[in-house]
């Protein structure tokens, strides 16, 4: 290569090499999804609690009624973090309104814990109800998130908009 061509090429290479690279930024703090979720969950929740929605998996109304309860739909599911899985009871406070039961008749609630049937509970009358049942060994995981699904055998269907309402939930979770 003749020197007259070599100098411009060398100059071009030197000029492009002097370009500053992209700015450097530190990576964002890393957090585990499981630990973040677990740190916000406890063993029991009332529907009026400001953090109640973090317990919802599905089919629970985001709208809080009268500051203390929420409607459920076809198969409400919640999640809870438990430190221990020994000698634990599942508890739920709920209501079956007269307005829905006059159309549905008696309602049976099937309660599932981590996919396993805890029991089927039949209610023939409206009103405020309390369900409490000892959880058999092996149903729950200690130091982990556990799931509870409640499946009513009948839901009330609105004639106006087709909304499916299950029952009124006030609180649920686990106690020792």
Q: What is the rounded radius of gyration, in angstroms, for the C-alpha atoms of the chain?
A: 28
Lookup: tokens for 37: 């979720």
% of the chain beyond a pLDDT of 70: 78
Alpha-carbon gap, residue 124 to 127, rounded angstroms? 10
Q: Which of 168, 172, 163, 169 has the alpha carbon at shortest distance from 98?
A: 168
Residues 72-83: tens digit of each pLDDT: 999 999 999 999
Largest CA distance in the chain: 102
Residues 41-95: tens digit of each pLDDT: 999 999 999 999 999 999 999 999 999 999 999 999 999 999 999 999 999 999 9
Please report, for the domain that includes residue 121, its CATH number: 2.60.120.260
* pLDDT, the chain, mean: 86
Any domain includes 138: yes
The pTM score is 0.77
Residues 4-41: tens digit of each pLDDT: 554 444 444 444 445 454 454 455 554 444 444 455 89
15-50 burial code (b ≥16 CB/10 A, e <16): eeeeeeeeeeeeeeeeeeeeeeebeebbeebebeee
Overall number of domains in the chain:
1
Q: Which of 133, 137, 129 has the alpha carbon at shortest distance from 118?
A: 133
CA 110 from centre of chain: 19
Residues 139-164: tens digit of each pLDDT: 999 999 999 999 999 999 999 999 99
At 82 the pLDDT is: 97
At 27 the pLDDT is: 55
Q: Which range marks the domain in which residue 78 is found?
A: 71-176
Any domain includes 42: no
Any domain includes 41: no
SS3 of residue 17 by DSSP: helix
Any domain includes 57: no
Any domain includes 123: yes
Q: Which of 123, 126, 64 has the alpha carbon at shortest distance from 99?
A: 126
Any domain includes 114: yes
Any domain includes 95: yes
Any domain includes 176: yes
């Amino acid at each position: 290569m003749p020197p007259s061509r070599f100098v411009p090429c060398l100059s071009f290479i030197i000029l492009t090499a002097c370009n500053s690279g992209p700015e450097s930024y530190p990576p964002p703090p890393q957090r585990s999804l499981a630990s973040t979720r677990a740190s916000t969950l406890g063993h029991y929740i009332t529907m009026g609690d400001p953090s109640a929605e973090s317990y919802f998996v599905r089919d629970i109304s985001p709208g809080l009624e009268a500051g203390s309860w929420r409607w459920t739909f076809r198969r409400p599911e919640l999640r809870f973090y438990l430190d221990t899985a020994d000698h634990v009871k599942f508890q739920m406070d709920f209501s079956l309104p007269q307005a829905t039961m006059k159309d549905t008749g008696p309602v049976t609630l099937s309660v599932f814990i981590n996919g396993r049937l805890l029991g089927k509970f039949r209610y023939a009358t409206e009103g405020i109800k309390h369900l409490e049942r000892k959880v058999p060994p092996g149903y729950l995981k200690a130091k982990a998130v556990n799931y509870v699904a409640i499946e009513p055998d009948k839901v009330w269907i609105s004639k106006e908009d087709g909304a499916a309402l299950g029952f009124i939930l006030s609180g649920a979770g686990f106690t020792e």
